[in-house]
């Protein structure tokens, strides 16, 4: 028993860190801020060779031209007369923001009485006007942009609108605007969900968040063009099946090794090799394991080969891929009875999911890692760092709906604010309408 405890202490000290597992860096054992876990590169700092630079360009049609014409000679001090010919010597431009001022638009409805039939006729006001005074749709889009895309808490949005635009607003109104925008986004949100279900490749991940002091989870399902985010109190398979009842029968699913993720009905699966290599590094550091570097190198070689593959390499029998498969089979035949329990569990997991390790070598669109999903879910962690938590499950759900639309907009190279402005101009679609 003492030996087992010694091994466990050794693993905790040397193995399970942020660069060798999914443990956050804040929980690293005996961490030092001076230590950088990044592997050194031979590349110099700054822009790399071949990098296309960009700079601010002058406008061909400036909005305003200010002419600076000399009045006196800088040598003798004589005043220039009216016949002096001035030539353009140089020009420079600066980009400025004009004073921002709220614009109050009054909509007036008029009525009249028909002289022929004595019927009174009244013009209707625009349908989006619900109250005697309200915030315009571009302000609603801006508030949503600042809250969901730029992660600003409601009290800072309130200060921003007051200080920069002299627009008074309450935090309650900000919440109501986010709720309204979420409801308007629901039809788009459902379309995104349908696109994910029919995708050839789907990546999935989950990350913990706090909702009013309780632990909850943000789930993401994404592909190169669409991102679908859902919030739930459960990290289990129940959440997935409630969202996608049939799973992804037409898709190759890329994920980590969470049991709930691996249980999904799919066409095929691909385990995230980045996760696996971090675990292998932890075994190497903690136990001086000679087996781990071999498997890690196999993964690196396979990923490197993936980058070199052409479309023709995916057709028919590929001897290079066959070689990787044989190496993997050989490495997984290791006798592990005397190994640490975590290493034994790792090997058993790979054997159980053997068909999901090198799937990416057979399909052009399948990546070897789940980085796309991790990028998609990272926004929830950034929101947590700034706002600490969501105040209610409802607001977390509003955030998930709108963020799904925003991330999908970004993936399709569209302007986020323009998309939110279009959303603000839509009517809320209900089941009754």
- Is the pLDDT at 272 greater than 50? The verdict is yes
Predicted pLDDT at 433: 35
d(CA 226, CA 120): 52
CB neighbour class for 78 (10 Å; exposed up to 12, middle 13-18, buried from 19): exposed
| Position 130 in a domain | no
Backbone φ/ψ region at 423: left (φ over 0), alpha (ψ -120 to 50), beta: alpha
d(CA 84, CA 75): 16
Query: Which comes out higher in pLDDT, residue 52 or 96?
Result: 96
Average pLDDT for 315-332: 94
Backbone φ/ψ region at 114: left (φ over 0), alpha (ψ -120 to 50), beta: beta
Q: Are 303 and 368 in contact (CB under 8 A)?
A: yes
Average pLDDT for 27-41: 54
Tokens of 114: 């028909």
| Position 355 in a domain | yes
Predicted pLDDT at 284: 87
| DSSP-derived pairing of the beta strands 214-222 and 227-232 | antiparallel
- Is the pLDDT at 269 greater than 90? The verdict is yes
Tokens of 272: 């995230």
| Position 316 in a domain | yes
* Chain segment 374-409, per-residue pLDDT in tens: 999 999 999 999 988 899 999 999 999 999 999 999
Predicted pLDDT at 429: 43
Q: What is the DSSP letter of 57?
A: P
- Is the pLDDT at 29 greater than 50? The verdict is no
Tokens of 377: 């879910």
Average pLDDT, the chain: 89
| Position 430 in a domain | no
End-to-end CA distance of the chain: 68
Residues 6+ apart with CB under 8 A from 2: none
Maximum separation of any 2 CA atoms in the chain, in Å? 105
Please state the domain count of the chain. 1
- Is the pLDDT at 25 greater than 70? The verdict is no
Domain that holds residue 354: 273-368
d(CA 64, CA 122): 44
Q: Are 199 and 226 in contact (CB under 8 A)?
A: yes
Q: What is the DSSP letter of 314?
A: G
Q: Are 16 and 23 in contact (CB under 8 A)?
A: yes
| Position 201 in a domain | no
Query: Which comes out higher in pLDDT, residue 196 or 317?
Result: 196
Triad 286, 292, 293: Cα angle to 5°: 105
Q: What share of the chain is helix, strand, coil (3-state, %, to 5)?
A: 45, 10, 45
| Position 230 in a domain | no
Predicted pLDDT at 337: 67
Predicted TM-score of the model (pTM): 0.83
Instruction: State the helix-helix crossing angle for 154-165 and 171-197, rounded to 10 degrees.
Output: 120
d(CA 68, CA 89): 10
The β-bridge partners of 271 are 255
CB atoms inside a 10 Å sphere around CB 118: 7
Q: Are 298 and 328 in contact (CB under 8 A)?
A: yes
């Amino acid at each position: 028993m003492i030996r087992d405890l010694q091994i466990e202490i050794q693993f905790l000290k040397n193995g399970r860190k942020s660069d060798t597992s999914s443990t956050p860096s804040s929980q690293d054992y005996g961490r030092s801020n001076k230590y950088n876990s990044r592997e050194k590169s031979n590349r110099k700092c700054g822009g790399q060779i071949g990098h296309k630079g960009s700079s601010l360009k002058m406008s061909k049609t400036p909005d305003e031209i200010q002419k600076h014409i000399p009045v006196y000679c800088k040598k003798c001090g004589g005043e220039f007369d009216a016949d002096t010919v001035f030539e353009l010597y140089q020009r420079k431009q600066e980009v400025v923001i004009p004073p921002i001022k709220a614009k109050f638009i009054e909509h007036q409805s008029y009525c009249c009485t028909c002289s022929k039939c004595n019927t009174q006729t009244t013009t209707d006001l625009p349908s989006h006007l619900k109250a005697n005074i309200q915030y315009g749709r571009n302000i609603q889009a801006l508030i949503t942009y600042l809250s969901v895309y730029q992660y600003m808490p409601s009290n800072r949005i309130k200060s921003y609108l007051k200080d920069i635009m002299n627009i008074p607003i309450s935090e309650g109104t900000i919440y109501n605007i986010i709720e309204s925008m979420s409801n308007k986004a629901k039809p788009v949100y459902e379309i995104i969900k349908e696109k994910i279900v029919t995708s050839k490749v789907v990546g999935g991940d989950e990350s913990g968040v706090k909702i009013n002091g309780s632990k909850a989870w943000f789930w993401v399902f994404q592909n190169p063009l669409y991102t679908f985010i859902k919030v739930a109190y459960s990290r289990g398979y129940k959440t997935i099946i409630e969202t996608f009842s049939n799973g992804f029968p037409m898709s190759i699913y890329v994920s980590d090794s969470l049991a709930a993720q691996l249980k999904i009905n799919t066409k095929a699966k691909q385990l995230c090799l980045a996760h696996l290599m971090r675990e292998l590094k932890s075994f190497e550091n903690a136990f001086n394991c000679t087996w781990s570097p071999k498997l890690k190198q196999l993964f690196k070689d396979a990923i490197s080969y993936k980058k070199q593959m052409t479309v023709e390499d995916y057709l028919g029998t590929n001897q290079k891929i066959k070689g990787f498969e044989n190496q993997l089979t050989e490495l997984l035949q290791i006798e592990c009875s005397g190994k640490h329990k975590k290493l034994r569990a790792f090997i058993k997991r790979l054997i159980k999911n053997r068909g999901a390790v090198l799937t990416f070598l057979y399909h052009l669109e399948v990546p070897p890692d789940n980085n796309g999903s991790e990028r998609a879910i990272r926004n929830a962690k950034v929101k947590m760092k700034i706002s600490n938590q969501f105040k209610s499950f409802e607001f977390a759900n509003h955030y998930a709906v709108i963020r799904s639309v925003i991330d999908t907009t970004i993936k399709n190279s569209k302007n986020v604010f323009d998309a939110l402005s279009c959303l603000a101009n839509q009517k809320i679609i209900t089941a009754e309408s």
